[in-house]
A and B are shown apart, each in its own frame.
Chain A
Amino acid sequence: EAQVTQNPRYLITVTGKKLTVTCSQNMNHEYMSWYRQDPGLGLRQIYYSMNVEVTDKGDVPEGYKVSRKEKRNFPLILESPSPNQTSLYFCASSSRTGAAGSGELFFGEGSRLTVL
């Protein structure tokens, strides 16, 4: 079954304690992306990756890091989480190749993060 898998689904942590949210897709997609979803703000892009070892900032990258060492994995790293990073996070992948053409985003089920 084609899917995007995120872990953990729920996490409560404390300010400053480094954490990683993993993301894996089994569709051989080149494009992967991380979003955060907050009430009234919709989905905002944090980082995206066009291919292995190629990443770029989205609209709200501050406080986050990513890596793309393998095609299927795109972990989101919070080196020193703060309460304003409390949010619902989604990883997504797409078959969209190049900067044109179609290619829906396939989303994971989300990771709800609370930073105390």
Chain B
Amino acid sequence: GESVGLHLPTLSVQEGDNSIINCAYSNSASDYFIWYKQESGKGPQFIIDIRSNMDKRQGQRVTVLLNKTVKHLSLQIAATQPGDSAVYFCAECPHGTYKYIFGTGTRLKVLA
């Protein structure tokens, strides 16, 4: 199995409940943020993104909230399903650079 999930904080939620995954970003100059989902044995997959001129963006069952004052990003997953079990991590892009800076991730476990 995959070893990249070792040492990660874990969030366990009941199937059907809502999940909230948090991320603190580091660079106040970051103007673009992305949430990724990584399932075991796979590459990271895009979930949702947000520009710094927005506070909230919604997708299908997911919502991203951005609080620039405290440099905090969150991902909300509504009605969590077993298929949502994965490692989730955020990425920030500082303005004026080509860099994508990744968080270390949170493992989401969905309990049946």
A interface with B by C-beta (< 8 Å): 4, 31, 33, 35, 37-43, 45, 48, 50, 56, 58, 88, 90, 94, 96, 99-110
Q: Nearest Cβ in chain A — how far from B77, in angstroms?
A: 18
Please, which residue of chain B has its CB at the minimum distance from the CB of A6? B43
Q: Is the CB of B104 within 8 A of A41?
A: yes
Q: Size range of the interface on B?
A: 20 to 34
Q: Could you say which of B3-11, B13-21, B66-74, B78-86 contacts chain A?
A: B3-11
The 8 A-B residue pairs with the shortest CB-CB distance in the complex, in nearest-first order = A107-B43, A42-B104, A40-B7, A43-B102, A39-B6, A104-B46, A107-B44, A109-B43
Given A38-B4, A39-B4, A41-B104, are A105 and B99 also a contact pair (CB < 8 Å)?
Answer: no
Tell me if B45 and A42 are in contact (CB < 8 A): no
- Majority DSSP secondary structure for residues of A touching B: strand
Q: Which residues of A contact B89 (CB under 8 A)?
A: 42-43
> B96 contacts which of A35, A50, A99 (Cβ < 8 Å)?
A99
Q: Which residue of B lies closest to A4 (CB)?
A: B43
Closest to B6 in A: A39
Give Cα A39 to B5, complex, Å: 6
Question: In the complex, which of the residues A39, A43, A45, A96 contacts B93, with contact meaning CB atoms closer than 8 Å?
Answer: A96
With a cutoff of 8 Å between Cβ atoms, the chain B residues found around residue A94 in the complex are 100
Determine if B42 and A105 form an interchain contact, defined as CB atoms under 8 angstroms apart: no
Cα A37 to Cα B105 with chains together (Å): 11
In the complex, are the beta carbons of A42 and B7 less than 8 A apart? no
Q: Which of B1-51 contact A (CB under 8 A)?
A: 2-8, 31-32, 34, 36, 41-46, 49, 51
Q: Report whether B7 and A39 are in contact in the complex, using a CB–CB cutoff of 8 Å.
A: yes
What is the bound-complex CA distance between A58 and B93, given in angstroms? 14
Give the interface centre of B32, B42, B43, B97 by most chain A CB atoms within 10 Å.
B43
- A-chain residues with CB within 8 Å of residue B46 when the two chains form the complex: 104-106
Q: How many angstroms between the C-alpha atoms of A35 and B43 in the bound complex?
A: 11
Q: Which of B4, B8, B98 contacts A48 (CB 8 A)?
A: B98
